[in-house]
Amino acid sequence: MLKKKWISCLSKTRWGKTSFIAIIFLLSCSTQLKKERNLKIVSSVNYYKKQAVLNPNYILLDIKKNIPTVVLDIKYATLNNFSGTAVYKTAKAYARKPVVIALENVQKSLVKQGLGLKIYDAYRPYSVTVKFWDITPADKKDFVASPAKGSRHNRGCAVDVTLINLKTGEELAMPTPYDSFLNMAYADYTNLPNNVLQNRKNLQDAMTHNGFSIFKQEWWHFDFDGWQAYDLMDIKFEKLP
């Protein structure tokens, strides 16, 4: 289908004329294909700032600055992730304003139990989602978001988290390490030790009671309710305050 449209667009150009005209047609075709995907991806910092002025909920906030007690372990800023590549230049975590407020409430509820949040990832630029999709084997693509739809991470409305013991700083035992492609990573997998099941339940309860939904394929991934209201984003961390 897409190939035919490119051929159709190319056929409209007369190669006896300047290549400039051909380029214009190609750009026109590219725009048409993007519309067919129904994807609106915000890559302009100015446009994003205008959105934030019109609706402060659109603002992407630095989670650590707003919730100092959370711990960050941004795997994608290191080589220690499934891609083997550092896809972020900065080890930061951003999320939309309502998401950060909800995470603050999660943290407050956990502190009463001597627990806290550790964040592996939050807002993720759309271009990173494309890269992850391209490098993931076909039989494992259930574990990564398709660029055809984009990710809740791209909207600033998803977080990858686990629990830590506040006294020791150590992570609680969970079904798998972060970013595992094993079946045990599924949020409803049950063939696990009782303490692991309880730890996962504590995490799920804290998140779901504060406006997040469980993501079936990954025990660590939670989507903020109402994510549909936010655009896909492709702005790098370095361009955010």
77 and 188 in a single domain? The answer is: yes
What pLDDT sits at residue 150? 95
Q: Is the full-model pTM beyond 0.85?
A: no
131 and 19 in a single domain? The answer is: no
99 and 180 in a single domain? The answer is: yes
Domain span including residue 9: 1-36
70 and 163 in a single domain? The answer is: yes
What pLDDT sits at residue 7? 38
109 and 71 in a single domain? The answer is: yes
129 and 14 in a single domain? The answer is: no
What pLDDT sits at residue 33? 30
What pLDDT sits at residue 34? 38
> Over the stretch 36-74, which tens digit does the pLDDT of each residue have?
357 899 999 999 999 999 999 999 999 999 999 999 999
70 and 18 in a single domain? The answer is: no
45: tokens are 């910092």
149: tokens are 């739809």
142 and 212 in a single domain? The answer is: yes
Structural domains counted in the chain: 2
152 and 181 in a single domain? The answer is: yes
What pLDDT sits at residue 38? 77
Which CATH number do you get for residue 228?
A: 3.30.1380.10
What pLDDT sits at residue 19? 41
What pLDDT sits at residue 223? 98
65 and 22 in a single domain? The answer is: no
117 and 195 in a single domain? The answer is: yes
153 and 212 in a single domain? The answer is: yes
- 241 residues of the chain, pLDDT tens digit each: 333 333 344 344 333 443 443 333 333 333 333 333 578 999 999 999 999 999 999 999 999 999 999 999 999 999 999 999 999 999 999 999 999 999 999 999 999 999 999 999 999 999 999 999 998 888 888 788 899 999 999 999 999 999 999 999 999 999 999 999 999 999 999 999 999 999 999 999 999 999 999 999 999 999 999 999 999 999 999 999 8
